Amino acid sequence: MKSIYKLLIITLLINSCAEPVSKNYVEINGTITNFNGSSQITVYNRSGFNRQISIKQDGTFSDTINVTEGRFVFNDGISAAYIYLKNNNVTQINFDADNFIESLNFTGDDADKSNVYIKQIQLQGEFLTDELFDKTEQGFDDTYVAYRNAYNDLKSTVSDPPVDFFLDSDKEFEAVYKNYKNFHSRKLALLNAFPKGMTSPTFVNYENYNGGSNSLSDFKGKYVYVDIWATWCGPCLREVPALEKLEKEFHGKNIEFVSISVDDASRSGSPEKAYNSWKNMVSNKNLSGVQLFSDKAFQSDFIRAYQIDAIPRFLLIDPEGNIVSADAPRPSSPELVKLFTSLGI
């Protein structure tokens, strides 16, 4: 009888140990290849949750966090992405710091839910390119239909998503569509206002960094690719390497690359500081091409005539001083070289 009793106790203990224990936290761990030396990863959401995870010198990290199930952002100090977190899960994050989005991979519980966020970013990169804005209205709409279909196909790959899992993603998708559509419509209206072949507005006696001054008429007989920029404009500066590469590629060809700064006191604090910011950046970055300083920044006649209220903005003018494009492709866009080639430049 005693042996039967002992057997019953052992059985109960075994069954008790086999029962899974629900944890009120998520375990997060991972490895960063080509670790950039950041001291921590920050995990946060729009509800005010914020937590730091220390990164070891070898690029590994590990922690437990109590969360409310849902979408969070994790940031390694340079790059950021969404991640799905839920208590009682174990989530692994692995990525190459030098190739963040392409290498980012989640494994562990509900990894498919986190990985779908990465694929959403990759879809944006595939469909929402600069070339989208160079398309006709029909071309824009067709591209967005294809993008929406790909996005819906991606959503179907997630197993047993919570009811509101795609709520934020869907809202963001529609908001991006609205913004892109409005921007594209504005561009079409701009191109209609400044059709190809129309005589270009002109600028006169803009100071040249290398000395003297230039007017648009000085470049008659050549195509003129005009870059409207400012030292405080991040997107402008991101185009600089591509612009420098183009200038080298087309050096000696029938085209002049002209950059016009619209630095002003409202951003820099005073006209003198704006002017010095321009001079210093041209010098420090050794910018090539023709570097000019506009006479009245955004209030310059040339800038206002082209209805420029946001930068960067690129213009292409033909050898006779007529407009080729009042909103030309950016230097980083493959469409620009195609345009140059089509013109025989």
Pair of tokens at residue 58 = 């070898």
Q: What is d(CA 196, CA 73) in angstroms, rounded to the nearest whole number?
A: 45
| Alpha-carbon distances, residue 9 vs 1, 18, 19, 222 (angstroms) | 13, 14, 16, 95
Q: What is d(CA 290, CA 148) in angstroms, rounded to the nearest whole number?
A: 43
- Residue-wise pLDDT for 278-335, tens only, equals 999 999 999 999 999 999 999 999 999 999 999 999 999 999 999 999 999 999 988 8
What's the pLDDT at 219? 97
* 17 is annotated as an active-site residue: no
What's the pLDDT at 7? 44
Pair of tokens at residue 201 = 């507005």
Q: Does the predicted model carry a pTM greater than 0.85?
A: no
What's the pLDDT at 308? 95
Catalytic residue (choose from 32, 230, 236, 260) = 236
Q: What is d(CA 183, CA 28) in angstroms, rounded to the nearest whole number?
A: 40
Catalytic residue (choose from 32, 233, 281, 303) = 233
- Residue-wise pLDDT for 189-212, tens only, equals 988 999 999 999 999 999 999 999
Half-sphere exposure of 274 (CA within 13 A, CB side): 20
Half-sphere exposure of 52 (CA within 13 A, CB side): 7
8 A C-beta contact, residue 235 and residue 332? no
50-54 and 40-44 strand pairing: antiparallel
